[in-house]
Structures are given as C-alpha cells and as structure tokens.
Chain A
Amino acid sequence: MKILSVIRKSLIEQLRSFWILILTISMAPFFVFVYYLILESYKPQYNLLLLNQDKGIEDFSHETNYGNFLVLAAKSVEQSKIDIPLRVKKIEERIEGMNLLKNRKADALIIIPEDFSECLHNLINKDEIKSIEIEFIGDLTNINYLVSAVWADEILNDYLAQITQRTKLVKVKETSLGLSGKIDEFDLYVPGLLILSIIMLMFSATIAIINEVENKTIIRLKLSKVTAFELLTGISTVQVLVGITAVILTLIVAVWLGFEINGAFAILILISILTSISIIAFSLIIAAITKTANEVLIVGNFPLLLFMFFSGAAFPIKGKELFSIAGYPITVQGFMSPTHAITALKKVLIMNMTLTDIIPEILILVALIIIYFLIGVWLFQLRHMKIV
C-alpha cells in the first residue's frame, strides 16, 4: 500500500518535472540520430589504384596483355559486389598514384609488372613457373590500406586461378558469427546507445531522491511509518519505467534509421530493467554525497561521463583484464554495470544469442546491483535518513 502510494506520488512528480523527463528520455534517441549522421558521412570506402606496366606479349601475331585483363577483372569485382565499398581506378603513372596515396585519396596502389603477361604466358603454354613480383604500396598504419590490400590479393589470386585454369590451393570459406556479416557499423553502436539511454537515468533518479532531502520532505517521511525500503522501491519503480521508455524510444529511432531488431525482445527488456536498477542503485550513492539538485548536476557529471565513455556505451572500448571469474574476464570498466549490459545486448541483438548465453553478464549485473545498493543505502541512511 505504502509502496503503491510512493509509486503514484513519484510518477506524478516525474510527469510534472517535464524538462528533466524530456531530457532523460530524449538524449539517447538524439545520440542515435547523431551517430547515424556521423557514420553515414564516414562510411568506409576502399580505393584501390592499379598501375599496369605490363608490356604484353605477341602470340600468334596478335598482342595479349594480361595486365589489362586483370584491371578489367578488378573492375568487374567492383561492379558485381555492390555490398563491398571497393572502388578500383586505373592510373597511368606511378607518381600520380603516389600523390593520391599521400593525399589520402586512395588507400592502396598495385603495380602490375612489365613481365606479367610473359610470365603468365610461359606458365600457361610452357609450364614454366616463375614468381611474378607485384608491388603493393600504401600506408601500413592505415586500416583502409590493409582491407584494400586483402581485396587486391583476393582479386589477383582469383584471376590467376582463372587464367591458368588451375585450382586454388587454398579456398577460404568465411562464416559470419551471428549476424555480423549482415550488419554495418551503425548496428554495432545501437546496443551501446540503448544502454546509454538508461545511463541518462542517473540524473533523473538522483534528483528524484535528492528532492526529498532538498525540500526537507525526507523529515516528514522519516517521521511517518514508511521505511527506507518502501520509499526507495517506490521511487525506483518509476525510474525503471522511465528507463524502459527511454530504451523503447531509442530503439524506435534506431529502427527508423535502419537498425534491425534481432534476438528476443523480452531479453532486451530484462537487460534494460536490470541496468536501470543498477543505475538507480548507483544514483543512491550520488544522492548520499549531495544535498541539492544543483549539487547533483555538478557532482553527477563525473560518474555520468565515466559511465558514458568508459563503459562502451558511447563507443566500443576494450579494457585491460584484471582477473577473471569462472573464465569471465573482469576489466577496470567491469565495475560499471553498463559494460556487462552492453556485452549482453550485443550478444542478443547482433549475435542472436539466447538467455543462457548471457548468464555470466546477468549474474555480474545482479552482483553489481547488490553492491551499489548496499553502499548506496548505507551511505544514504547515514547522511539523510538517520533518526532516533
């Protein structure tokens, strides 16, 4: 009964604190939109340059240039595989290619040697095997060069196998894990942004709690028969609802921008509820060390930014492993509950995994909720709820 009354009262207050509510639930959808725009602007494109120095050979009174065929083969790959952002351009001078590479207008330059046709002709007709030296030029620190070089190597090997009518010694069969082959970079960011929408609860939850202290209404509550558990449960329930609303809004915006929901929706909600509770529990710690909403806005910025940028919510981040529990690695970031929530969501939404696959993350989340709550309730009781 008392819990229901606290829920009702907190809900009314939350709805009447219009601006805090709007900011809390709209921040992550806004981030999704911004990320989409950024990633669309920076969609990867691998620019491959081909310089054909092949002199060709004269065979039965007509000239054959295998280098030109290779360029055509590369062009056909560009046109046939539209899902691969590969652009092939033929150039005439080495210096032209070097300039394009230096200005980052191209990622790799492949130079077909003068004796390319001759070597191939000898191999096909006389079975003479001589290594063909093909030069790859590019910035080795540039990830785009590496991808372009891999593609160039693939095109070259396919062409050689085809032209010599020989079977490739190695045929690589690539199997994508879950849906990783079908998704783009934007899809990879969405799980983190869904959790970011819950991290934004930190302010609204802390303010909901600290308002009782700032307005001194905590005195009225202390003098009444309500317990700290009933009060915190009531406030937390409303904040969990706000958290789920924020997640659903973020998801709607992500889907609108092309994100495909995979995995069970119920698991997404379960992870959202657990993460919301953990953020509310952490908010209790902030509420314990502050006295006013203004203080929350100042002090709360630090953990908010920490959770946003170091848990992997805003962008993927890899931490140094400190230790492991039953094979589950714990990093420095692992002390922040969103880290595990994001890992779990990626498993569900990207890898299409089930609840049993995310049991370690769920267990760690529950453990962190308990730890945050114990610290938070103890500190809050000590600072704001002490009574005879």
Chain B
Amino acid sequence: MKNNYHSVIRLSNLSKRFADVTAVDGLSLDIFKGEVFGFLGPNGAGKTTTINMICGIYPPSEGEILFWDDKGIKKQDIKTLIGICPQENIFWPKLSCEEQLNFVGNMYGMSAKSVKSRSKELLHMLGLEEKSKALASKLSGGMKRRLNLCLALIHDPEILVLDEPEAGLDPQSRILVRNFIKSMAQEKTIILTTHNMDEADRMADRVAIIDHGKLLLVETPEKMKKSIGEGDILEIVLDITDKDDISTITNALRKICDQVKSSADKIIIKSKNLIESVSEITNRIKEHGYIIKEITLRENTLEDVFIYLTGRKLRQ
C-alpha cells in the first residue's frame, strides 16, 4: 500500500434499500489515497450498489459519503474526481473509439487539444491505437472492455472505480488490463469490485469482504490469509515401506503445529502462516531419518477466508 492514510472516501453507516430489499446495510469504511481498494463478495452482495452510491448514481437511503472529509464538496467536483468503468460496456455503438473519447472528454469540459492528446495516449496504453477509427460496435469483447476503461479515464480522474474489471476478458486482455491498473495505481486511488478471489488477491492493497450488503472485514489480503480461517495446508508424502511406523514423527511435528494428521505414507499439517514453518518441519522429518518423496503446500486463500467468515463458498 502506497497510501499516507489520508482518507479519500469515508463511508459512514451507508445503507441502500430498494423497496423491501436492503442491498447495502450500514457500511462504514475508509478508502485511502493511492491504494487499490477491493470490494469482494458474491453476486448480489451489494458491491455495485456501493460503488454506484460512491459515484452518485444512487442516493444512499441512510448514512453519508465524505470525500476528503469535506462535507461541502460540490457535486460537479465529485464528477471530475471520479471515473467509473461499469461492469457493462457502456459506449455509443455508432461512434468510433476516438470520436467517443473526444465526446466524453468534452462533456467533462476538457479542451479539444487536451482531450485529443489524452485519448491518443489512452488508446495507445490500452492497445487500441490501431482501432481508433473503428466503430465501437465492431470491436471484439476484450477491446470493448478496454474502451470502457479508456472512457472512465479520459478526464484523468483522481479516483478510478472499476466494477468487475476482468469480467469477460480473454487472457491476453486480462493481463493488459491488470498491468494497466497496476500502473495507474501508482498515481490514482483505485476502487474495484470483484467476486474473483485471485483478482482481489493480486490487485488490491486492501479488501472489504461484503455479503448480503454487510461489511464482514476490511484488511490487506496477506493479513486476512494469515489470520483468518483454518490456515495453510502442507501435505508431505514419505518414502517408506509398509512396516514403517510414522507415529513418532507425527507426534514430533505436533510440537510445532496444532493440527497434524497421518495416513499410510502421508502427513497432513494445517496451520496459519505455515509457510514460515516449512523448513523447520522438513528438518524435523529428516532428523528422524525419513526421506520426503513429495511435498505440497496449499496456502490459505481469500476463498478460505470467505468460507470461514460466511460459512459458504463464494459462488454458492
């Protein structure tokens, strides 16, 4: 995280109700300057509703959103400060990439000269330079997604809001977009929503896990994985004969880790932050004269954290 802990956006007891459905329920958190902040949760968790409230598309039913802690900030200023890349590709199908970037730039009050150079720069950065004159409707799915991102960035906003940025992208576009977001993260505050654990883990400095509109946890992915859930799993297959008894080594390992199980030639160890104990475990096994045939470490994932917090898998 590159932030100086200066709150860019503060959500205070934010709620949104649609008729009888509470989409967001008492959300309170801070998003800091320069960080990549991820909203992680299953479909319908309230991620998109939250960012729509941040962007001003929906008014909150309760609570408030403060930008730079200033309650008096003007709506017009917020519009300039935020750029949103919605989940759906939103563009004018009958305009070329260049035409719509110029148009949106003008709608933000940019001069013709600056909007032209900015659109050229963005099209180059997102690999759409050759398609600048092509109609948006004629682009491939991945290109449309990238154009969507360009449109969010044309006015060079300080806060970039990305709703499911990698959804529907081919592997090539995914890498391009991911690298682009990372490069943007050097200078902008980025808020992204995702139901993809890997995406959140790889890209976000901090993650807010929300479910049924409620905030469950806000933390860095690393801290979440180290402190929440059942921990990492280490599987060790030993090179032994049927007559060998591995109960001695199993007992010895229980002094290092809490949960150690054995069956035939396999030892399974579960513990938080297990990666730091791997060398000690292997040394102990070798000291007892066993040869390790195979060793597998599965780290605790955000999915494990999510299951631990909600009692169900992300896509259930």
Q: Which residues of A contact B (CB under 8 A)?
A: 1-2, 5, 8-9, 12-13, 16-17, 215-217, 219-226, 387-388
Q: Contact: B106 with A223, CB < 8 Å?
A: no
For A12, the chain B residues whose CB sits under 8 A away are 94-95, 99
Cβ contact within 8 Å between A220 and B104: yes
Chain A residues near B102: list those with CB within 8 A. Answer: 5
B90 on the A face (CB < 8 A): yes
Instruction: Give A388 to B67 CA distance when docked, in angstroms.
Output: 15
Is B75 in contact with A388, judged by CB distance below 8 angstroms? yes
The answer to whether B90 and A216 have CB atoms under 8 Å apart is yes
Closest to B100 in A: A9
B95 touches A223 (CB 8 A): no
Is A225 a contact of B59 with CB atoms below 8 Å?
Answer: no
- Min CB gap A358→B, angstroms: 39
Asked if A388 contacts B58 (CB within 8 A), the reply is: yes
Contacts of A216 in B (CB 8 A): 86, 88, 90
Q: A215-B92, A215-B93 are in contact. Are A226 and B107 (CB under 8 A)?
A: yes
Selected contact of A2 from candidates B59, B79, B92, B107, CB within 8 Å? B107
Q: Chain A residues near B59: list those with CB within 8 A.
A: 388
- Closest CB of chain A to B155's CB: distance in Å? 8
B106 A1 Cβ-Cβ under 8 A: yes
Contact B57 A388 (CB under 8 A): yes
**Contacts A215-B91, A215-B93, A216-B90 given; does A9 touch B103 at CB 8 Å:** yes
Report the minimum CB–CB distance from A124 to chain B (whole Å): 85
Partner of B95, one of A2, A13, A225, A387: A13
Q: Known: A220-B104, A225-B80, A225-B108. Contact between A388 and B56, CB under 8 A?
A: yes
B90 proximity list for chain A (CB < 8 A) = 215-217, 219-220
Q: Is B140 an interface residue (CB 8 A)?
A: no
Task: List, in ascending order, chain B residues with CB within 8 A of A1's CB.
Answer: 106, 109
Q: Distance (Å) between the CB of B16 and the closest chain A CB?
A: 11
**What is the CB-to-nearest-CB distance from B191 to chain A, in angstroms, rounded to a whole number?**
14
Q: Do B106 and A5 touch across chains, with their CB atoms under 8 A apart?
A: yes
B86 with A219: CB separation less than 8 A: yes
CB-based contact A221/B107 at 8 Å? yes
A387 surroundings in chain B (CB, below 8 A): 56-57
Known: A216-B88, A220-B104, A387-B57. A225 touches B79 (CB 8 A): yes
B162 part of interface (Cβ distance < 8 Å): no
Complex Cα spacing A224 to B107, Å: 6
Q: How far is the CA of A215 from the CA of B90 in the complex (A)?
A: 7
CB pair A17–B76 under 8 Å, yes or no, is: no
**Interface residue ranges of B104-147 to A (CB < 8 Å):** 104, 106-109, 135
With the chains together, A8 CA to B84 CA distance in Å? Answer: 24
Q: What are the 6 tightest A-B residue pairs by CB atom distance, in nearest-first order?
A: A224-B107, A5-B106, A388-B56, A16-B94, A388-B59, A226-B107
Residues of A within 8 A of B93 (CB): 215
Contact assessment for B58 and A223 in the assembled complex, using a CB-CB cutoff below 8 Å: no
B65's closest neighbor in chain A, by CB? A388
- Assembled-state Cα–Cα distance A225/B86 (Å): 18
- Report the Cα distance A38→B157, complex, angstroms: 63
Extra contacts, 7 of them, besides A1-B106, A217-B92, A225-B107 (Cβ < 8 A), are A2-B106, A12-B94, A17-B94, A219-B57, A223-B84, A225-B108, A225-B109
Closest to A231 in B: B107
